[in-house]
Amino acid sequence: MKSILIVDDEPAILMALSHLLSNENTLVLTSSRIEEAEEALDRYKFDLVIADIRLSGIEGMEGLELLSYVKGISPETKVIIMTAYGSDEIKDSAYQRGAYHYYEKPIDMDDLTKKVEDCGIPVMVQK
């Protein structure tokens, strides 16, 4: 079974992505705080982490810190970073830290689904 951790402070995004990516072959855990995400990462091995950059207010960059944390404990885990407040500097930093992909919100869900499948994780989209 494959596993995905989704980290975002917006409940609607957590619910939508969890619904999109959960299936009988894929376990999806969600977290709205970096501390919860780090606990989950310490406890379980994930194939993919999808994380928002800002988790606590407008100045936060917790998603980039989380990306570094993931790569430090599990270099083979793929990480997709997303943000509503993107810039070339943030994008470059994400890739330098080892991001698999970077999205600016709103995210094209068809493209996200393809990226998840490219990670070897099956996605069964309900039509």
> For the domain that residue 92 is a member of, what is the CATH number?
3.40.50.2300
Categorise residue 98: left if φ over 0, alpha if ψ from -120 to 50, beta otherwise: left
Reported pTM: 0.94
Q: What is the mean pLDDT of residues 74-93?
A: 95
Percent of the chain with pLDDT over 90: 87
- For residue 34, the enclosing domain spans 2-118
Give pLDDT, residue 56. Answer: 75
pLDDT (mean) for 73-99: 95
Indicate whether 126 belongs to any domain: no
Whole-angstrom distance, CA of residue 127 vs CA of residue 122:
15
Is pLDDT above 70 for 8?
yes
pLDDT at 61: 83
Whole-angstrom distance, CA of residue 105 vs CA of residue 40: 25
Phi/psi class of residue 32: alpha, beta or left (left: φ > 0; alpha: ψ in -120 to 50)?
Answer: alpha
Count of structural domains, the chain: 1
Per DSSP, the three-state class of 72 is helix
Look at residue 16 and tell me if it is in a domain: yes
